[in-house]
A and B are shown apart, each in its own frame.
Chain A
């Protein structure tokens, strides 16, 4: 009985026949691999950093219950509610119940692979809650009743023309193939959803045990809107998302988007510490986290727990030569590519997904690019071993291997086999090459010619070679050890310390202002170096005659108001949504800034509107030079030392997407123009 799965062969055949699909995937994955290589080159200690990341994650997985308990305790202490779900169905039921209990009807969804895994949208729709995907790629997928084919770039299998057709058909938009214009169509449509939604669902990138904080990393700004606008924010995470310390984020944020998209850090990294506080002017009233097992406990307890280190960066998909040929849908699962070849059988069953561990050349490029050192080829080989043990390998293959083993175990049988192969290959051969083999062997020559075994194998040539004299010259050998292979799944007893020599990219005594300004420019901020005297006029020059909201507590507010008197139109944020959505410019202060990445850090509080740095198309942030810290390591080490705001957001560049053909578009859902004024 052959255990090959018809569905997989059919999917592969379909993908291989689709030249446009393969061209689209090759184009985008090659681009992403090039950006990754450039981004990795910025990290001197990349190998040590990913080794550290692997050890932190493995340690957490090896001690999961303790860290989960700590996370839950702190999350609840911050005012959040925790729900545990054993299965995907339990998770959906729980989220539907939250919607029912609160009378919620319109759900904005940020991109989340875990909600794809549970098929949450269908469950919400069945319960009468309209769920709208707000990530550009996922939005197109939903309009097309399709499935994402990549965990980071969901519409890698589509091009601008397919997006254009979906927008014409489903939204009544005018046909355009301009990615910029297509993005604006999505923005306008989803603005309305963001104004009206009462429920927001997101995934979670990291859940920090030490503080009970959720970290959600996004690029377009839809994720921030999803966590800001609705009354109720529900986050769905797998149990493996927990990390011990806030400072661990320095390690993981440096690796996550460098590996996936080649960015130094995602545009937005939101740290969520409970629901909005009593004196916060906006933000969700309720915060729920649903913690999903869904088969992960079984992985954790088994021999392949390293698979749970995965941070879903997508690098292995971009690297994989098989993914490049067959695309994501062929894998028949939410998780495609190399990591999907492990997750799909391990989370579900090895019988149904029997082809996935087999359909790999074991090239190992996935291991080389993995930011947490998951030894994917090694786990694949061991899943194959499990298949042999469970007898899910066809008897014919077993017989072939047993027979080959017998022949290879005896030098004289081996020689007879060699000779026999030489003789028999004379029949179908033309010269030294075979172009067509008969019968079931024919698959070996379906696509390429096969060489005949040589007339004389090396072992018959050896006696002659042996007779010739050895050279008089003598090279003195160096006694060197082999390079260490990538670390496997070794158990981690102790939580590894965060070695600054490995993590830090900007020294504490560096010229922070210059570095910050240069890197902020590089990631797309427009930087103005100003002074308290010039601040008013500098801002006036940027704002012109636009509608403006300024944070009331900013100390420079009177100067700015004076400088803008008579030209800008001042809106009052207390007037609510109407004002926020009508405003052209939001002017805010920051809590901190990071020289390493050119990041500005905003945090919520009394009179500090989350929407102000998010909803208006232009954001002006005022940074005082003493607020600049050298490195993400400093930021994440310092944050837990004082009380965390309900929302702290790292902003690194204007809102952006690369969902359509990997082309970079700015100003998707968040501001497309961000000015940073350094005092």
Chain B
């Protein structure tokens, strides 16, 4: 492929990326009366931002052309499946909600409401289908080789690398998508039930209030983190041969698998979250100012300061045996990748929550008439959200720049 041809391909893909952004951001400018405007549009815009950031962090432009085409086709196929599935899922959701919340009221008169009241339901299946289709696509030997090459691993491991790359994709996608589905389904059911019940039955709404109290992003990130841990716990380790037991003679510590920055990030985010909370409480005049439950902040800080390091320790210290140097090197790299992915998920959760905490002050500022402080808070909140997505995708896609220092023969 000549240089000019490469340049044209890159230009083409840039235009495609720009088109996707415009397509997804279009609902933002629709009139408020149109169902697609409103909060859902912001969700879609966030998804578009994530897609653009993913394009930047995944090194997508360096992929072989056939892999890029395969990825684009898989997303297109996923979208094609998503729309009919969305119609089916919405029908089922409406039937279930009406059967529980308003039995005997009849399905047909209310069926349209879920589309009009909460178009977010449409995105339930779209959000679920596209990443799943993308994660489950075939890993070609060429893609596996590229994956190995990027991590400085020797080639010659296609079957093992193909299996592990596929496991990595599936385990980091399926639980996160399930988290998104749970978040969106509870939110949609809440909106529908609220529309049907109004304020007549606060007891019935209490359960839904609890279910929807956490941010959707927290559901997604919790699912992602769970998937990373489960993938490591269930991964088959390289085995020795001829009955002998073989192992590397080296002390394995998280410092050998993580960059210094990656080790510092969770603690820094925990400190930032505490600082943001203390600032809001001090400026707002008490805990009542917080829209985020103080318990959630404390739990997140604990997870960042103690939970993530403990999980990394667990991953690093799991048995590491075998005598095939290439298989051992792959095992080390996968551990390092998991440890970094935990940093990404944990830090993203903390940053999203910090944005939510500052949002409390933004709301209070809005009630007082806004002003420059409100705009500053809005900018900081957006910055924190973008940072959260960046750190999640950046650390989750692979371990970046970190060569494990563990002794691999």
Q: Are A and B a genuine interacting pair, yes or no?
A: no
